[in-house]
Structure 1
Amino acid sequence: MTYVLIPGAGGDPRYWDLLVDELHARGHDAVAVPLPAADPDAALPEYAAAVRAVVDTHPEVVLVAQSLGAFTAPLVAAHPAVRLLVLLNPMIPAPGETPGDWWTATGHAEARAAYAAAQGRDPHAGVDLAVDFFHDVPADVAARLIDGPQESDAVFVHPNPLRRWPDVPTRVISGRDDRFFPADFQRRLAVDRLGVHPQELPGGHLLALSQPRLLAETLLNLTG
């Protein structure tokens, strides 16, 4: 079984490096897919093509998608090699919904503000990578990745070709301490849109950086 790993915003495959090492150490193949996120002409169809090209080379695949990657994963999951789809702190799309529309449709801003207020943080503060994403990532790891590539606007505004969720087993893993997509918000979205209750792990939005060993063990448990 090969774990094909889809990054989130920015399309940076380095996000998965620590998890790839953990999976390799346990005798499993893992491939992180670089996405053409900086290309102003590339959107979900091009992202899906990049992932599909990797899936084509492996007989049995577990797709693992981080955050924005959850928009790409269902466009590939119907591939006959895919045995399981795992969404990690995901932006779970509705059919036809664009990533740009997702934020308002899901009530994300309100959920993030409420969680910040509950923690004693400023609910009106703008997004801060150090506060919202890297707060529980080891400093040396954060230093290498915090200034990673940026996402172009194309993926957020171009049409989403998803018409229905693929008929493949789907699991959701959520960070219990995610400040950007609070766990309660993720739980509601996963149940409403997929009928799936997330498995929660300690850690924030970037679990593959803050909890690579635990995440590897969780993925292996999901696949038996």
Structure 2
Amino acid sequence: MATYALIHGAGDSSFHWHLLVPELRGRGHEVVAVDLPCEDESAELGDYAEAAAAAIGSRGPVTVVAQSLGGFTAPLLCDRVPVELIVLIAGMVPLPGELGKDWPANTGYPGPNGTTEIEIFFDDVPAERAKAAIERSRRQADGIGEEPWPLAAWPQVPTRYLLCTRDRMFPAEWMREVVRERLGIEPDEIDSGHCPALSRPRELAGRLEAYRRELGLQ
């Protein structure tokens, strides 16, 4: 039995994972969907990591799954809880010392392909589900964008990247190169928009399980 720790993206909540959680639990695993202190301007990246570690508690070893901005937090868990695998889903990949606010310019981010939340984040999510996600969204504080990413290097933990081929927030062609340059790996791909946990939860659960099997994890 595995423990999955699910880390949401900017201005989001654990609701993001509400369809993935039962898929993973139905496969016999423990699942912790974390709520980060994203509305707190005083919260630092370390506070995000501590919130996630506290939610995980004594469970482990852990597969950490991080969405979008959650890529800044997920690696910080590796010196707090026993992490055996990191999976980034449309995740931001920081470099040592990089400020979050500089990440778009540093990566050559081309900007989103769309003008509304629905277009950019939820274009392939059923309408009622997208509406529920928007209603549960929270404000994202700017504070962590002013803070250098604190690690000296990406952790020596197996890492997989799941790129969303129809992502209108992080266009696929650009993101492939970011992953290759910053993680030195070839991203895997899923035919979805930015939020496969909401549009393709069963397929996403299968992908996560496949990563664990490839590594020989139970």
Q: Deviations over 1:40-74 (max 9, x none)?
A: 10121110111122334212110000000000011
Find runs of 4+ consecutive structure 1 residues off by over 6 angstroms: none
Name the SS of the counterpart of 2:125 in structure 1: coil
Cα distance in structure 1, aligned partners of 2:37 and 2:81: 24
What is the total number of aligned residue pairs between the two structures?
A: 211
CA contact (8 A) 2:53 2:81 kept: no
User: Counterparts of 1:136-215 in structure 2 under 5 Å?
Assistant: 136-147=124-135, 148-215=137-204
Scaled by the length of structure 2, what TM-score is found?
Answer: 0.92
Structure 2: segments with no counterpart, 5+ residues: 214-218
Name the SS of the counterpart of 1:223 in structure 2: helix
CA contact (8 A) 1:78 1:167 kept: no
- C-alpha displacement of 1:158: 2.4
Aligned to 1:23: 24
Name the SS of the counterpart of 2:18 in structure 1: helix
Give me the identity figure in percent. Answer: 44
- C-alpha displacement of 1:79: 4.2
Cα distance in structure 1, aligned partners of 2:128 and 2:184: 38
Scaled by the length of structure 1, what TM-score is found?
Answer: 0.90
Aligned to 1:128: 116
Aligned to 1:82: 83
Aligned to 2:10: 9
Residue identity in the other structure for 2:163: S
Q: Deviations over 1:73-125 (max 9, x none)?
A: 111124451100001101110111121110110111x2x46xx4xxxxxxxx6
CA RMSD of aligned residues (A): 1.4
CA contact (8 A) 1:71 1:91 kept: yes
Bigger mean CA deviation after superposition, 25-34 or 153-162: 153-162
Residue from 189, 203, 209 that aligns with 1:220: 209
CA contact (8 A) 2:62 2:81 kept: no
Residue identity in the other structure for 1:151: Q
Cα distance in structure 1, aligned partners of 2:200 and 2:93: 22
